[in-house]
Structure 1
Amino acid sequence: MSSRFPFLSQLASTTLPRLFFGAVFAIAIAGCSTTTPVASNEPLQFDQAIAAATDSLFQQSQDAMGFMARRSKQAVALDPTLDAASGQQTAATQQLDRTITERVPRNFEQIEVLPFQAASLAKAQYLLVGTLVRVQNTYRIDLALVDIKGGVVVAHSSAVARKEGVDMSPLPYYRDSPVLIKDKVTDGYVLTSATPAGQKADATYMERIATATVINDATTLYNAARYREALGQYRSALATPAGDQIRVLTGIYLSVSKLGMTTEAEETFGRLVAYGIATNQLGVKFLFNPGSTEFWADPKLTGAYAMWLRQIARQASRTKVCMDVVGHTSKTGTEDANETLSLRRAAFIKQRLGADSADMVKRTRAIGMGSKQNIVGSGTDDVVDAPDRRVEFSIVECGK
C-alpha cells in the first residue's frame, strides 16, 4: 500500500462494498450548486446516474483521504470514457464526459478537470477513467480516479442508469472502423475503470497514456472530419515507442481512405491485418444484406471489401497460418436461424479468401457462432450493434 495514502485500507474495507454494482448514494456537499440524486438501489435516469457516480467518486476521495482538501487546486485529466464491451466512444460516453467536465468544478471548486492532452498529463496529479457496462436492460457507470505518479486507484464509484435515453451510437471513428478496436491497451483501460480503490491500475494502460493523448487528439480531429490533420497526428503516435497499436493503424487507414490515398490505404490495411494475426485479435465488420450472404449493395459502405479480403488472404498466406473463419450475427431472430446464417456467411468469406489465395482453402475452416458471442447485444441491427455482425479470424494450429 502506498505510504502517500495511509487511509486506503480503511477506504477499501468500509466504503467500497457500498459503491459497487449500482449502489447510489445521496451525498450532501457543502457549497454545492446542485442537489445530488436521492439514494436508491433502483436504476436512475442517465443524467442522474452520472451525477451520482461523479459526486460519489470525489466525495469519497475528499472524505476518506483529504488529499483534495489539504491542497490548493488539484488537476484531474479525463481520459474519454468508453463502452466497456466494444471499447468504443459513443454518444452516451461523450455525454458522460461532458457532464463530468461541467459538474466537477461546480460541485468541487478545488478540482480542475483537464482535457486528455499531453500538456494536461504534465500538470495533472490524477487521471479519471470510466466505462458504461450493459447489464441486461440497464447500464452501469464505473468511474475510477488514479494517482498518475503512483499508478494506484484512489477512488472508485458506480451507478446504474436506465437504458432509456442512453444513445450508444458510435462516434465517426468507431463507426467507420473496419475492425473491432479492442486490444490490450483498451482492455487495460476497462479493467482500470472497475478497479477498487487501493489497488494498482492496469500496467499496460498506464505505460501508454502519453501515447494515448496523441491518439485522442488524432481521433478528435477525425471525428471533426479534419482528416489530413488527423493523419499527421496518427503518424506522430505511430512514431512513439508505444505507437504500434490497433487504434493507430486503424486511424491511419481511415484517414488515408478519406483522403483518397488508395495505395497507402491498402498498404495500411495489410499492416492492420498483420497486427491482428500476430495478436490473434482480428474481427472485421462485413455488412451483409439482411438474412443473406450477399454484401450490402451500397459501394460507399462495401467498396473496400474486395481489398480487405485480398489483404487478409495475402497476410495469412505470407505467415502460413491456419485460421478459423468465425461468423457472428446480432441476436435478432431465433438462435437456430442465426447459427445457420452465421455459418453461411463464414463459408462465403472462406470461399472469397480461397479465390484470392488457393492455399487458404485447406488452411481455413468456417464456423458459425450465431449470437452466442454478442459484444453489444442490443439486437437493434444498426450501427450500434455492428460489432455483433462481424467475422473473426482466429489463428489455430494447423491440422486440427
Structure 2
Amino acid sequence: MQMRHHAFSLPLLSSLLLGIGATFTLAGCSTRPVVAEALPFDRAILAAADALLEQAQPLPGFLGGTDRRVVALDPTLDADSGQQTSATQQLDRVIGERVQQARQFELVPFEAASLASAQYLIVGSMARAQGAHRLDLAMLDVKSGTVLAQSSVQARLEVADMKPINYYRDSPILMKDETVEGYVRTSNTRAGSKADASYLGRIAAAAAINDAAKLYNSGRYREALVEYRGLLATPTGNQIRVLNGVYLSSAKLGRTAEAEDAFGRLVAYGLAQKSLSVKFLFNPGSTEFWADPRLTSAYGMWLRQIARQASSVKVCMDIVGHTSSTGPEEVNDNLSTRRASFIKHKLSAESAELAGRTRTVGMGSRHNLVGSGTDDVVDAPDRRVDFAIVDCKA
C-alpha cells in the first residue's frame, strides 16, 4: 500500500513508539491492526485510537478533498459486564480528542438530535483476555452498515479504573442483552464486513438511550423517566437498558409501584432471553445480605418479582452463585454454593413450586467479570447470582 503523509501521522507514530518492544502490523487497508504486547493503559488507548484513524485515511473522499467527514462516537463499553466505567470514559475522551485533532473529521455528540448528520460511527469495547485488556475499536459507515476500519490493542490490567458510572453502579442487573452483545461484536468486526445486524437496527434507539442515561447520571430523574417511558413505546425500545432506566428512575423518585412493575418486566425479559444476572450484595464471607438498607431494601421486591415471573412462565432454573476473587478457591466455591442455596430458599418462600424446579450451583470466583478483588461497587458484578433457564426434567 502506497504510504501517504497525513495531518496526524506524527502523533500516531509517537503513540505507537511509547510502548517499547510492541509490535504493530498493518498489511493492508482492510487488515486489522494489532499491538501484540500489552502497553500501559494510557498508551494503549492512544495507540488504538490513532491506529483506527490512520487506517481510515485512504477511504474514498478523504484524499484531495476539503470536506470533513462527520463522526459520532457511541460510548465504549466493558465487554465482560456490558457497563460504562471510568476506564471506558477515559477511552472515549482520547478517541474524541484524536478525532478532533484530525482535519478530515468533524466530531458530533452521540445524541438523537445530531445523529442524523453523522456519516460514520465509532464503537469500542474493552475485554479481559490473556492477562490484559483488549481494546477493540471500529469505524462504520452509517448508510451502508459496513465496517471501514478496525484496530485492536492490548492494555495492561493494573491501571484501568473499572468503577462503573452512576447508571450502571445503581443497576440491579447486568446490562448484557443481544443489543449490547451486537455492539461488542461490531467493535471487533474486521474492516470490509457488515456490522452486527442487531446493533445496526437499533442505532437511533441507542442515541436516545444515551440521552436518557445522561439525564439519569446528572440526577435529573424526572426527565430521564419521561425519556425512558417514551422509548418503551417505540419498536426498538423494548430492551434491557430502557427497562432498567424506567426501574432506576422510578425508584429514585419514590414511585414504588412503577419501579416494581419495571423490575418485573426486567425479569421477564431476562427469563425470555434464558439468562438473568442479579447483583445481590452479601456481607463478606456470609450468606446474609449487605447490612446497609440503602443498598438492600429493594431485595425483597426483587425476589418477589423473580419468583412471580419464573412461576408464571413455568421455567426451570439453575441458580448460580458467584464470589469475588478474594479468599481461597475452596472457600469461594463453598460460599457461592451457600449463597445460591440462600436465594433458592428465599424464592421458594415466595413460590413453593419453585423448590422443585430450581437447583443450585456454586461457581466461586471462576467466572469473574471484573476480577479486581476490591469487594466494593467495582466488583459487584463478580458477586452476582445468575438465573439460567434449563430444560425441566421429565
TM-score by length of 1: 0.89
Query: Paired residue for 1:166?
Result: 160
Q: What whole-Å deviation, never above 9, does each CA across 1:27-58 have from its counterpart, x for those lacking one?
A: 97446684632442443332222222111111
Change in CA separation of 1:29 and 1:252 when aligned onto 2, cut-off 3 Å:
same
1:98, 1:331 → 2: CA distance?
30
Change in CA separation of 1:54 and 1:115 when aligned onto 2, cut-off 3 Å:
same
Query: Paired residue for 1:310?
Result: 304
SS of 1:69 mapped into structure 2? coil
1:333, 1:67 → 2: CA distance?
57
The answer to whether residue 135 in structure 2 is matched with residue 141 in structure 1 is yes
Deviation at 1:104, TM superposition (A): 1.6
* Contact persistence 2:162–2:370 (CA under 8 A): no
Query: Paired residue for 2:114?
Result: 120
Which of 364, 382, 391 lines up with 1:388 in the alignment? 382
Deviation at 1:70, TM superposition (A): 4.6
Tell me the amino acid that sits aligned with residue 310 of structure 2. A
Which of 282, 297, 303 lines up with 2:291 in the alignment? 297
Deviation at 1:360, TM superposition (A): 1.3
Matched pairs, number: 375
Which of 176, 179, 204 lines up with 2:198 in the alignment? 204
The answer to whether residue 71 in structure 2 is matched with residue 76 in structure 1 is yes
- Equivalent residues in 2 for 1:150-299, closer than 5 Å: 150-299=144-293
* Contact persistence 1:74–1:111 (CA under 8 A): yes
Change in CA separation of 1:379 and 1:31 when aligned onto 2, cut-off 3 Å:
closer
Query: Paired residue for 1:6?
Result: none
The answer to whether residue 78 in structure 2 is matched with residue 100 in structure 1 is no
Tell me the amino acid that sits aligned with residue 78 of structure 1. L
2:40, 2:149 → 1: CA distance?
23
* Contact persistence 2:71–2:122 (CA under 8 A): yes
2:95, 2:334 → 1: CA distance?
45
Deviation at 1:136, TM superposition (A): 4.3
Query: Paired residue for 1:20?
Result: none
Query: Paired residue for 2:15?
Result: 37
TM-score by length of 2: 0.91
Tell me the amino acid that sits aligned with residue 385 of structure 1. D
Which of 62, 82, 103 lines up with 1:109 in the alignment? 103
Deviation at 1:378, TM superposition (A): 2.6
SS of 1:101 mapped into structure 2? helix
1:70, 1:285 → 2: CA distance?
53
1:367, 1:246 → 2: CA distance?
25
Report the RMSD for the aligned CA atoms in angstroms. 2.0
The answer to whether residue 331 in structure 2 is matched with residue 353 in structure 1 is no
Ranges in structure 2 where 5+ consecutive residues have no aligned partner: 24-36
1:165, 1:336 → 2: CA distance?
29
Moved over 6 A (4+): none
Tell me the amino acid that sits aligned with residue 95 of structure 1. Q
SS of 2:62 mapped into structure 1? helix
2:176, 2:149 → 1: CA distance?
25
1:100, 1:293 → 2: CA distance?
43
1:375, 1:162 → 2: CA distance?
16
Change in CA separation of 1:28 and 1:47 when aligned onto 2, cut-off 3 Å:
farther
1:242, 1:189 → 2: CA distance?
15
2:334, 2:316 → 1: CA distance?
23
Tell me the amino acid that sits aligned with residue 57 of structure 2. Q
Tell me the amino acid that sits aligned with residue 103 of structure 1. R
Query: Paired residue for 2:34?
Result: none
* Contact persistence 1:183–1:281 (CA under 8 A): no
Which of 364, 367, 372 lines up with 1:373 in the alignment? 367
Ranges in structure 1 where 5+ consecutive residues have no aligned partner: 1-9, 16-26
Tell me the amino acid that sits aligned with residue 81 of structure 2. S
Deviation at 1:68, TM superposition (A): 2.1
* Contact persistence 2:140–2:195 (CA under 8 A): yes
Deviation at 1:146, TM superposition (A): 0.4
Higher alpha-carbon deviation: 40-49 or 339-348: 40-49
Percentage of identical aligned residues:
61
1:349, 1:270 → 2: CA distance?
17
2:219, 2:318 → 1: CA distance?
36
Deviation at 1:358, TM superposition (A): 1.3
